[in-house]
Every structure is written in C-alpha cells, then in structure tokens.
Amino acid sequence: MRCTDACVYPFPLGDSSVRRMAQEAGELGLDSIVAVGAKRCIFRGVEVVGGTVIQGTNPGEVQAALRKLGGDPGILMANAGDYAFNKALLHMSRVRVLRGIHATPRNSFDHILSRMAAERQVAVDLDLSLLVSGRDYARQKALQRYADLARLQSRTGFPLTLSSGARSILQMKSTRDMISLCRLFGLDEDGVEEAFLGIANILRPEKAVEVVE
C-alpha cells in the first residue's frame, strides 16, 4: 500500500532538511512525503513531492498569491475558511488540497461542497498533529470535525489526505501511529488506506521525477 505524509515542513520552515525527513519517512514506513517549499525528487526510495501552502483570507488574496507563483510550486494547498471562501477555493483549478478545515465553522464544508470536491478531485487534509499536541478543547474540536468529515467522505467520496504537519523528524509519524490516530475519530481501515493514497491520486503522472543520490 502506498503511504504518503501529505504535509511536512523541512528547513528553513522547520528544523530538519528535506533529505533527513525523507530518510525518516522511509524508516517510519512511508514511501512519500509532501514537503512544503521543496522540489520533487526521490531520495533513498522515498518520493519527495513539492508543495506550497497558499495564504489568503479571501478569494482575491488567494488569486493574487497564485499569480505570483513561479517555477514549479508542486501541489498547491490552501487554508480553508468559511463556506463562501471554501466554495471559491474549490472553483480554483490549481488548488488541490484544502487544509485547516478543523478550525473553520462547522457548516463551512457541507454535503454540497463535499460533492463539489469529489467532482473536482480536491482533497481535504487531516492534520494529525492536532490530535497529539492540541490542548483539550482544540483536540476535542479536531476529533469531532474529523469524525464529521470521515462520515461525509464515506457518502460523497471526496479525497482525503493524512499529514503529520511535522517541522522536524521528531514530529513525524509512522504509518502505524497514523492508523491508530485515525481510529480515534472513526476512520476505518479502508478509509485510512484511501487517505494514504490521496496525494498519489491527484498527482499528475506525467511530471518527471529527479532521483537524488
């Protein structure tokens, strides 16, 4: 089974290099990571997929940020917001992953938007770091929102991704740990397997991959 950590932050956004995080990912049972700010490559058998998190509080700011991107930004991820904002994000063809749904109003992503995400193959990321380091209220809120998303995904079929949100190798999670955390909010084995494949399913297969020795 292909297993991807859908968002890590290597140096300079975090404390560990891309190569060190890729090596650690392999030791933890993962075969790929999405590394924010990195270029796509393969290191010791682990695929590194570049990623960019788009910052913006309204559609105009996001569109402006998208226009400023140069080179190959990798997979484009955007932080979610209220209902209208999320609907606008889903209409932006370059945005491939919505992050931070747990921090938005409960009605910000309903069955209508979930069907739209399924049609457009836009994934919703579940950042598992919140279940480990979050304080009581924040952790409980994330658990409830993730449970809601798991139920919604089972009905509409939009892609899910799983991420550690790690900024160092010490914060990275093994596949076993990620599976155990997913059980806390009711994502079953089939759902976890599908979420591990979320990034692979939205990647463009024609992109070349550089092998790094």
Burial of 170 (C-beta count, 10 Å sphere; 0-12/13-18/19+): exposed
pLDDT confidence of 211, banded at 50, 70, 90? very low
Question: Tell me: the pLDDT tens digits for 19-31?
Answer: 999 999 999 999 9
| 208: amino acid identity, one letter | A
172, pLDDT greater than 60:
yes
Pairing of strands 46-54, 32-36: parallel
Of all helices (H) and strands (E), which one includes residue 187? none
The CA distances from residue 43 to 30, 32, 54, 172, in Å, are 12, 10, 26, 17
74, pLDDT greater than 70:
yes
Q: What size, in residues, is the chain?
A: 213
Sorted by where each starts, the structural domains of the chain and their CATH numbers stand as: 4-212 (3.20.20.140)
Between 202 and 71, residue with greater pLDDT: 202
Mean pLDDT (whole number) for 143-168:
95
Residue 212, CA atoms < 13 Å, CB-side half-sphere: 16
Of all helices (H) and strands (E), which one includes residue 89? helix 83-90
| 204: amino acid identity, one letter | R
The alpha carbon of residue 9 and the mean position of all alpha carbons in its chain are separated, in whole angstroms, by 12
45: left (phi over 0), alpha (psi -120 to 50) or beta: left
Q: Is the pTM of this model over 0.75?
A: yes
* β-strand partners of 28: none
Residue 29's closest CA among 16, 15, 41, 46? 46
pLDDT, position 205: 44
203, pLDDT greater than 60:
yes
What are the helix and strand counts (H, E) for the chain?
9, 9
pLDDT confidence of 136, banded at 50, 70, 90? confident
Question: Tell me: the pLDDT tens digits for 87-97?
Answer: 999 999 899 99
Judge whether 34 and 49 are in contact, CB under 8 Å. yes
